[in-house]
Structure 1
Amino acid sequence: MKNVNISKTQALMLGITSITVTGHLLIIPVIIGYAGRDSWISLLLAIIPAILIGVTVALLSQRYPGCTMVEYSQLILGKWLGKLVVIIFLIYFLHEASLSIRGFGEFYTAAVTPRTPIFVYLIAILMLAVYAVRCGLEVIVRTNQVILVSLIPIGILASILTHKDKDYHNFLPILEDSIRPTLDGTMTLLSVYSSIFVLSMIFSFVKDTKQLKRYSVITMLILIIMFIGPVTGVVAIYGEERAQGLYFPTFLILRDIQMGALQRLDILGILLWSLGSFAKVTLFLYALALGLAQLFKVEDHKILVIPIAALLSIVSIINSEDLIGIYRFLTDYYPYYATFIGFILPLVLLIISQFRKPGAKLEGRNNDV
């Protein structure tokens, strides 16, 4: 077995890619559905809690260096209660990955190739993710670096090209419908930011965790910035009423861009969500495989990758009958359960850990990544 070390930047770039893709593809319509023209206020209100989420994950990893979430949960809570909490986290990872896979498939069948069965896209992205995970963590982080560097210019280009079409009067009046819808939008943002807890399975391989808290704060601020354009741009271009009826608003913005001979840039949106969805599914598939291997003392986590991928394909299909059902779940349930598991539970772990003596790294840890 070999020890693999990655940098803080590489680990946090994985979090940026996975959160940005899910947020832009599936969560922004939910935020706008709640807060409408006040979505930008929801984003501002999410800054402090988002930073707290990043700090919580970083502090847990710093307090238990070299340990994954599976390991330090048992050190903090004891063997049996710790295992129960680990199972809850792993189920959360499973469902988060299945939502991304289903969202990817629904995007293609609804906006790109309606006649192609959705199962084709689910199998395609899972096959690629399985191959990447079996190649190891170093391959995953290096591939993600290339993907993220490719995605950022697309977002900047879209923001620049659509600036002339934006009417910021669409944001007036402010808080006309009270602050409750705005707070609901903030809760939805926190739910997607909470998924950065998946990095608790990655930080144990970071070479130096001394400044991990600072890097995590910077990462969460970058994520806030990366949501400003998509959240405000949709309302500024289409107005509140139309924006609240769109399923893939950021993709429509790219499709509607017209600047001389430069038209129909929806291919950039397809590229953005294809690469980003692949990065997220790969990250969560890796976390699931490693987590289950550590929980059940399996020596090589790679033998679990294909069975987990098969399970993900099934869960992705049974998540909901259609896209409307998925958005109903994301609106009514996801903000609360995801925030509780991805933010509140880790925060409870951190608080309890303050009363526990930091433990040494567990024996038998799987290092073959």
Structure 2
Amino acid sequence: MRNEGSISILHVVFLTMTFIGLKNHVTIIPSILQTAGRDGWASVLLGALGIFIWVFLLVYVHNNSNQEPIKDWLKQRIGKVSTAIVLYGTAFYLLLLAAFTMRETLLWVSTTFLHNTPFIILLIIFILLVMFLAASGLQTIVIVNVFVLTGVVILGFFVAFVNLQVKDYGLLRPFFEHGFQPVLMGTIYPSSGFVELLMLLFIQHKIQKRMRWYHFALILVILTGLTIGPLVGAITEFGPTEAAKQRYPAYEEWGLARIGRFIEHIDFFSIYQWLTGTFLRVGFILFVCADILNISSDKKQVWSLLAPPFLFICLSLTLFRENVFIAINERYFLISTFFFFIILSLFLTIVALTSRKSVTKDKDKNDQKSGEEQSNQVKTTQNTTQ
């Protein structure tokens, strides 16, 4: 399905590297380390394997819906009321997802390099920026993402190679020293990022060509690498015990980066990586919300209908103390994100299955009716001849 303003599959790949990559590359690393320790890499691989099987549900729904807007496809299958419940519930959860990302990023900013800046000032500035991006449309988002992602990828490889001098890969052994249970428990954290691939179904009508299973598989491989990279880096640079104590191991890795004897303290590059990642992630999620609510084409409605609730949710999260928010995010919200997207994908699959059966039954009935009509016409012709 080709429309004006559509994006290519390559743009989709780049977009997922940013809006899911920020979460899997940075924010879930502490949870994996605390749960699986030095075997966290195995949790990522196991989670990716499970999600690869789940991806075929997305492909099935994507093909069955024929790249129509999901909101229109659902309305034809389950009616207006049920569709409204699903869509509004999804939009609300996506607002929560964006608000948690915003709160965590600004918490890092205020504790790292802007200690004395009032939190509300940071929040208002960032909300204005992400709302402007969300209201600008999907084409603007993917164009900005291409330029931003280029710098992020270059800096990521830079810190990885520079820190080779301090890495000790012997810290990854012994493998499975605490058994396989911690590895299984740790799979839910990378998987909570992988399942956000479901959001691509809500923009499928904006994609030029139909996505195949190998497109999703390629994205999954890239996201797996983005998750394992900083995870293994943190273990080999700090050790599993010290890395698990750190709030943001991916940021701490920049503190070790140095070139020769005289070039060091280059961790300010991580500020660019994190802030631009949050900018694109939150902006894209808000755009998906706007498209679900059918207001993405009207900038005034995007500002008037999305900005107030988003600001209210973000302000509500600021009421929690830092340690309480971190505990809620790690112990509950990351896990609930996994189950929310899994349940939503199963619901869409059931809708696709039942609609296909009903279409098949209707086709059989129509074929039967047409056959009966033809036989009646033949009988009538014979009687007339006689």
TM over 0.5: yes
1:261-300 deviation digits (Å, cap 9, x = unpaired) = 3312211110001111100011011111121237xxx983
Contact kept? 1:285, 1:305, Cα under 8 Å? no
The DSSP-based 3-state class of the residue aligned with 2:179 is coil
> What are the within-5 Å matches in structure 2 for residues 32-47 of structure 1?
32-47=33-48
The whole-number CA distance in structure 1 between the counterparts of 2:21 and 2:279 is: 12
The equivalent residue for 1:343 is: 342
The whole-number CA distance in structure 1 between the counterparts of 2:298 and 2:212 is: 28
Paired residue type of 1:233: G
Q: Number of residues paired by the alignment?
A: 355
Please say which of residues 298-307 and 65-74 is displaced more in the overlay.
Answer: 298-307
1:158-198 deviation digits (Å, cap 9, x = unpaired) = 11111121112222222222322212211111112222222
Contact kept? 2:137, 2:297, Cα under 8 Å? no
Residues 1:264 and 2:265 are matched in the alignment:
yes
Structure 1 residue 139, shift from structure 2 partner: 0.9
The whole-number CA distance in structure 2 between the counterparts of 1:96 and 1:159 is: 29
Larger Rg: 2
The equivalent residue for 1:247 is: 247
> What are the within-5 Å matches in structure 2 for residues 90-109 of structure 1?
90-109=91-110
Contact kept? 1:101, 1:316, Cα under 8 Å? yes
The equivalent residue for 2:215 is: 215
The whole-number CA distance in structure 2 between the counterparts of 1:207 and 1:302 is: 27
Residues 1:175 and 2:173 are matched in the alignment:
no
Structure 1 residue 358, shift from structure 2 partner: 9.3
The DSSP-based 3-state class of the residue aligned with 2:245 is coil
Contact kept? 2:87, 2:293, Cα under 8 Å? no
Q: 1:316 to 1:180 in 2, by over 3 A?
A: farther
The whole-number CA distance in structure 2 between the counterparts of 1:9 and 1:327 is: 34
The equivalent residue for 1:318 is: 316
Structure 1 residue 17, shift from structure 2 partner: 0.4
Please say which of residues 148-157 and 349-358 is displaced more in the overlay.
Answer: 349-358
Please say which of residues 87-96 and 302-311 is displaced more in the overlay.
Answer: 302-311
Structure 1 residue 81, shift from structure 2 partner: 2.7
The equivalent residue for 1:290 is: 291
Q: 1:111 to 1:235 in 2, by over 3 A?
A: same
Q: 1:123 to 1:53 in 2, by over 3 A?
A: farther
Residues 1:62 and 2:63 are matched in the alignment:
yes
Structure 1 residue 22, shift from structure 2 partner: 2.0
TM-score (norm. length: structure 1): 0.89
Please say which of residues 46-55 and 84-93 is displaced more in the overlay.
Answer: 46-55
Unaligned runs of 5+ in 2: 360-386
Residues 1:279 and 2:255 are matched in the alignment:
no
Paired residue type of 2:212: L
Aligned-residue Cα RMSD (Å) equals: 2.3
Q: 1:242 to 1:283 in 2, by over 3 A?
A: same
Structure 1 residue 246, shift from structure 2 partner: 0.7
Structure 1 residue 53, shift from structure 2 partner: 4.5
Structure 1 residue 90, shift from structure 2 partner: 1.3
Unaligned runs of 5+ in 1: 361-369
1:18-55 deviation digits (Å, cap 9, x = unpaired) = 11112233211111111111101101101222324444
The percentage of counterpart residues that share the same residue type is 22
Q: 1:190 to 1:256 in 2, by over 3 A?
A: same
The equivalent residue for 1:153 is: 154
The equivalent residue for 2:75 is: 74
The whole-number CA distance in structure 2 between the counterparts of 1:322 and 1:192 is: 25
Contact kept? 1:64, 1:358, Cα under 8 Å? no
Paired residue type of 1:312: F
The equivalent residue for 1:235 is: 235
Contact kept? 1:53, 1:193, Cα under 8 Å? no
The equivalent residue for 1:364 is: none
1:216-255 deviation digits (Å, cap 9, x = unpaired) = 1111111001112111111111111111111111111112
Please say which of residues 214-223 and 77-86 is displaced more in the overlay.
Answer: 77-86
The equivalent residue for 1:6 is: 7
The whole-number CA distance in structure 2 between the counterparts of 1:165 and 1:299 is: 50
TM-score (norm. length: structure 2): 0.85
Q: 1:305 to 1:60 in 2, by over 3 A?
A: farther
The equivalent residue for 2:381 is: none
1:303-338 deviation digits (Å, cap 9, x = unpaired) = 133441232222123225233223212322124311
Structure 1 residue 302, shift from structure 2 partner: 4.6
Structure 1 residue 354, shift from structure 2 partner: 2.2
The whole-number CA distance in structure 1 between the counterparts of 2:152 and 2:345 is: 30
The whole-number CA distance in structure 1 between the counterparts of 2:53 and 2:307 is: 32
Contact kept? 1:19, 1:193, Cα under 8 Å? yes
Structure 1 residue 95, shift from structure 2 partner: 0.8
Residues 1:303 and 2:304 are matched in the alignment:
no
Residues 1:163 and 2:164 are matched in the alignment:
yes
The equivalent residue for 1:363 is: none
